[in-house]
Amino acid sequence: MEEKPNVNPFPENLPNSNLILVLGILSIAFCWWHFISVIGIVLGILTLVLARKEKTLYEGSPGKFSAISYNNVKAGRICAIIGLVISLLVFASVILIFLGILATLPFWGMIR
């Protein structure tokens, strides 16, 4: 007798798939502004942690969950990576500019 794989005819969504997608998009949305880019960093890291958990859940029993919800997790993860990288670059540039301004403050009095 041939065994049939454990495939649910009505697969359910991964629990946090939509949340991961929304957080990934928000990490991109918050990555462009100076000190607000910290929010993009936090959202990006949070999204990557949640996406890892959902990925292991899906890989444990892929027939139980829908492929659409897994695609949402993958898209949210990609958005989170993009948002995290841009947020880190923006935040680092802001810090470097801020440190550059602080470094030149003693010399501003000499200009006059």
- Alpha carbon distance 13, 70 (integer Å): 8
Question: Taking 80 as the threshold, does the pLDDT of residue 90 lie above it?
Answer: yes
| pLDDT mean across residues, the chain | 88
Type of residue found at 90: V
Q: Is the pLDDT of residue 63 over 60?
A: yes
How far CA 7 is from CA of 11, 15, 56, 80, 103, in Å, comes to 8, 18, 17, 30, 63
User: pLDDT grade, residue 65 (50/70/90)?
Assistant: very high
Residue, of 49 and 111, whose pLDDT is higher? 49
pLDDT tens-digit map of 4-52: 556 667 889 999 999 999 999 999 999 988 888 999 999 999 999 999 9
CA dihedral of residues 103, 104, 110, 112 (deg, nearest 10): -150
CA distance 112 to 110: 6
Residue 95 to residue 75: CA distance in whole angstroms: 30
